[in-house]
Structure 1
Amino acid sequence: MGLFRLLFWIALIAAAFWLWRRLVQKKAAAKPHQTTLPMVRCAQCGVHVPQDQALQSQDRWYCSRAHLEQDSNAGGR
């Protein structure tokens, strides 16, 4: 009788764990995925930065104000 009780509790715990995992996976799938931001390359140093953080002058992008000014002082390329 003791073996039957042990198997019953193991099966009950396994079923509860399986149900819990399914509920957690559904909640994780319901979260919206973060969208990626477009990246641009700095015309001065070549580093890639998100477009919303970059500075633009005509058709060129820069990672900082210093690089924008350095490139404009040099007359652009």
Structure 2
Amino acid sequence: MKYLLVLLVIVIAVGVWRSRRRAENLEARRPAARADNRLQPPQDMVACAHCGLHLPRSDALVLGSAPHPVYYCSAEHRAQGPA
């Protein structure tokens, strides 16, 4: 009976230790998860003048200037010109 009581105390102690450790791990992960879940602001999309692929304006290659710039998805398509 004495060994059963010791075993019960050990099982309870291990359970408490694991639950505290799990709670600490969850608290450590929460700030990182919040930073990843932030939405990025929408970006203006443009179409490649050669193939019609839509891509963000920040990634596009521009030929010409305002008021009528021409956007391309790659240097190859810019060299080939509009389709």
Q: Show the counterpart of 2:81.
A: 70
Aligned residue for 2:51, secondary structure, equals coil
The CA deviation at 1:4 is 2.0
Which of 4, 12, 19 in structure 2 is aligned with 1:14? 19
Counting matched residue pairs gives 72
Deviation of the 1:46 alpha carbon: 0.9
User: Is the partner of 1:15 in helix, strand or coil?
Assistant: helix
Unaligned 5+ segments in structure 1 are none
State which drifts further: 48-57 or 33-42.
33-42
**Aligned residues: percent identity?**
24
| 1:50-65 pair list within 5 angstroms | 50-54=56-60, 55-57=62-64, 58-65=68-75
Distance, in Å, in 1 between the alignment partners of 2:39 and 2:48 is: 24
Classify 1:64/1:30 alpha carbon distance in 2 versus 1 (closer, same or farther; 3 Å).
closer
- Please give the TM-score of this superposition, normalised by the length of structure 2: 0.57
TM-score under structure 1 length normalisation? 0.60
- Calculate the aligned-residue CA RMSD, in Å: 3.0
Q: Higher mean Cα deviation, 23-32 or 40-49?
A: 23-32
SS, match of residue 45 in structure 1: coil
C-alpha separation between the residues in 2 aligned to 1:30 and 1:66? 37
Unaligned runs of 5+ in 2: none
Partner of residue 40, structure 1:
46
Matched, 1:5 2:10: yes
